[in-house]
Amino acid sequence: ADFAIGLHDFSAATGQYVLTHETLAAENGADVAKYHKGIGQRSMSVPAVDEDIVTMAAAAAAPVVARHGADQIRTVLFATESSIDQAKAAGIYVHSLLGLPAGARVVELKQACYSGTAALQFALGLVHRDRSEQVLVIASDVSKYERGTPGEATQGAAAVAMLVSAEPALMRIENPSGMFTADIMDFWRPNYRTTALVDGQESISAYLQAVEGAWKDYTERGGRSLDEFTAFCYHQPFTKMAYKAHRHLLDHCGYDVDDGEITRAIGQTTGYNAVIGNSYTASVYLALASLLDNADDLTDRTVGFLSYGSGSVAEFFAGTVVPGYRSHLRTDMHRAAIDRRQEIDYAKYREIHDHSFPVDGGNHAVPRETTGPYRLAGLAGHKRLYEQL
C-alpha cells in the first residue's frame, strides 16, 4: 500500500483485585526473592467473580469507541485462550455492550498467547484491502493454573483493545514478519479443564527455540538488523522471560551479551506485566503499553515485537512510532486501572480461584463485586448475562 497501516489507538484494562507475591510466598513457604528476582513478578491481577474476558475487553475497548466512534469499525477480532464458550465468539458480547454497528463481522481467534498477533496481522490485511475501514483488535485473558503448582505464581488477567487503521496515530506496523511454528506440548488446556497444563522448563526452551526460528525467518525475508531497534516487546509470561529471550537472541546473533544493553532494550517494557501477571494474548501488547507510557520520546523509533504462543507459534515484527503519538496515549487511565485494584488475602483469592459456577451449568445470580464499567450479572439457561453499570 502507499499508505501506512498500524495502531491508531490503544487501551488496556485489568481485573478488580490484586494478590501480591508476598502473600503467595507467605502461604506456600517460597522465598519471595524467587518471585521478585527469579521470575520478576510483584503481584497478579485477579478478576472479581463478576468479571471475565468479556467485561475486561469491554472496559478496554469502550474508551477507544468513545474517542473514534464506531462507524468505521467493520471487523472485531477477539483473541483469547481463556474462552467462555466453545462456539459463540466472546467479541459478540463486546459488540453488543458497546453498541457497535450491525454491519460488522466478529470472530474469535485462538493459538495460546500468540493469537492477538494473528488478529493484528489479519487487521493490517483488511485495512490494506479498504483503507476506509477500521478493525477493533481485542486480546483478553485470565491466566489460571492449579493452586500449589509452579505456574500459580505466573497467573494474571488483562485485556487490550487496539484500533487498527490507515495513517495511524501511534505506530506503523511494518513488513516483513518472521514466523515459526512447531508442534510441541509445552502448555495446553484440554476442553474439559479450567486450568492450564504446562511443562515449565520445556516451555521456556520451546519459547527460546521459537525466538530463534522467528528471527531467522525475519532476517531471511529482509527484515531490519538488531541494531536498528530501540526496544523489544516480548511476550512476558513472567517478566524475567523477556530478559532470557533477549539474551538468547543476542547470543544467537553473535553479540557480546551485555546486561546493561539488555536492560536498555527491555527495562521499560516490563512495568505493567510485573504487577499484572501473565495476561496471555494481551501480554506482549501490555509490554508495548508500558514502553509507550513510560519511555522518553520514542518518535520515529523502531520497536521489535516477539509474540509467542505455546504449542507453538511465534512471530517477530517491527513497528515504528509516529510523530505526535504522545498526545494519544492513555497513560493515566492505565496507571489508574492498576492502582484501583483492591488487594486481597489468600483466602479470598482461593475462593475466587476455586469458584465453580461457570462449569456447573446451573442458574446463578452473580454477586456484585466489580467497580468496573461492565459485569457478568448471572448465568441462566446456560447463557451468560452481562450488564453495563
In sequence order, what are the residues at sequence separation of 6 or more whose Cβ sits closer than 8 angstroms to the Cβ of residue 114? 235, 281, 307, 308, 309, 312, 313, 314, 315
Residue 261 annotated as catalytic: no
Cβ pair 245, 206 in contact under 8 A: no
The backbone torsions φ and ψ at residue 135, rounded to the nearest 5 degrees and listed phi first, read: -120, 130
Q: Which is nearer to ligand CAA, 34 or 128 (CB)?
A: 34
- Please identify which of the residues 51, 81, 108, 133 carries the catalytic annotation: 81
| Cα–Cα distance, 214 to 178 (Å, whole number) | 5
| Cα–Cα distance, 219 to 249 (Å, whole number) | 13
Residue 233 annotated as catalytic: no
Q: Which is nearer to ligand CAA, 12 or 73 (CB)?
A: 12
Retrieve residue 259's grid coordinates. 546486561
> Shortest Cβ distance from residue 216 to ligand CAA (Å)?
19
| Cα–Cα distance, 268 to 11 (Å, whole number) | 18
> Shortest Cβ distance from residue 61 to ligand CAA (Å)?
23
> Shortest Cβ distance from residue 214 to ligand CAA (Å)?
13
- Using CB under 6 A as the criterion, which residues of the chain lie in contact with ligand CAA when the complex forms? 31, 33-34, 37-39, 113, 150-151, 153-154, 186-187, 198, 200-201, 203-204, 207, 235, 237-238, 241, 278, 280, 308, 310
Q: Which is nearer to ligand CAA, 174 or 212 (CB)?
A: 212
Distances (CA, A) of 266 to 77, 112, 236, 388: 28, 23, 11, 37
Cβ pair 111, 146 in contact under 8 A: no
By Cβ distance, which residue is nearest to ligand CAA? 38
Helix (H, G, I), strand (E, B) or coil at 334: helix
> Shortest Cβ distance from residue 263 to ligand CAA (Å)?
15
> Shortest Cβ distance from residue 240 to ligand CAA (Å)?
6
Q: Which is nearer to ligand CAA, 134 or 278 (CB)?
A: 278
Tell the burial category of 126 from Cβ atoms under 10 Å away from its Cβ (0-12, 13-18, 19+).
middle
DSSP code string of 169-186: SSEEEPS--EEEE----S
Residue 128 annotated as catalytic: no
Cross-strand partners of 178: 316
> Shortest Cβ distance from residue 122 to ligand CAA (Å)?
21
Retrieve residue 286's grid coordinates. 501490555
Q: Which is nearer to ligand CAA, 278 or 320 (CB)?
A: 278
| Cα–Cα distance, 131 to 124 (Å, whole number) | 10
> Shortest Cβ distance from residue 252 to ligand CAA (Å)?
17
- Please identify which of the residues 51, 95, 113, 248 carries the catalytic annotation: 113
| Cα–Cα distance, 270 to 289 (Å, whole number) | 10
Q: What is the dihedral of CA 371, 372, 378, 384, to 10 degrees?
A: -170
- Please identify which of the residues 235, 248, 334, 353 carries the catalytic annotation: 235
> Shortest Cβ distance from residue 210 to ligand CAA (Å)?
9
| Cα–Cα distance, 259 to 30 (Å, whole number) | 27
Instruction: Choose among 383, 378, 357: nearest CA to 366.
Output: 378
Q: Which residues are catalytic?
A: 81, 113, 235
